[in-house]
Amino acid sequence: MRPEPVFEAPWHAQLFALTVHLNEAGHFAWPDWAERFGATLKRHGLERELNGGDDYFLAWLETLETLLTDTGAAEATALRDMRAAWEAAYLRTPHGAPVTLD
The region of weakest confidence among 7-11, 33-37, 60-64 is 7-11
Query: What per-residue confidence (pLDDT) applies to 11?
Result: 87
Residue 60 belongs to some domain of the structure: yes
The number of domains in the chain is 1
Residue 59 belongs to some domain of the structure: yes
Residue 2 belongs to some domain of the structure: no
Whether pLDDT at 9 is above 90:
no
**pLDDT class for 30, splitting at 50, 70, 90?**
very high
Residue 4's SS3 state is: coil
> Is-contact 33 23, C-beta < 8 A?
yes
Q: 79-87 long-range contacts, Cβ below 8 Å, gap at least 24?
A: none
Range of the domain at 32: 10-70+78-92
Residue 55 belongs to some domain of the structure: yes
Residue 87 belongs to some domain of the structure: yes
Residue 18 belongs to some domain of the structure: yes
Question: What are the C-alpha distances in Å from 39 to residues 32, 60, 92?
Answer: 11, 11, 35
The region of weakest confidence among 2-11, 14-23, 31-40, 90-99 is 2-11
Whether pLDDT at 5 is above 80:
no
Residue 19 belongs to some domain of the structure: yes
pTM: 0.81
Nearest to 23 by CA among 32, 12, 14, 13: 32
Size of the chain, expressed as the number of residues it contains: 102
Residue 32 belongs to some domain of the structure: yes
Whether pLDDT at 18 is above 90:
yes
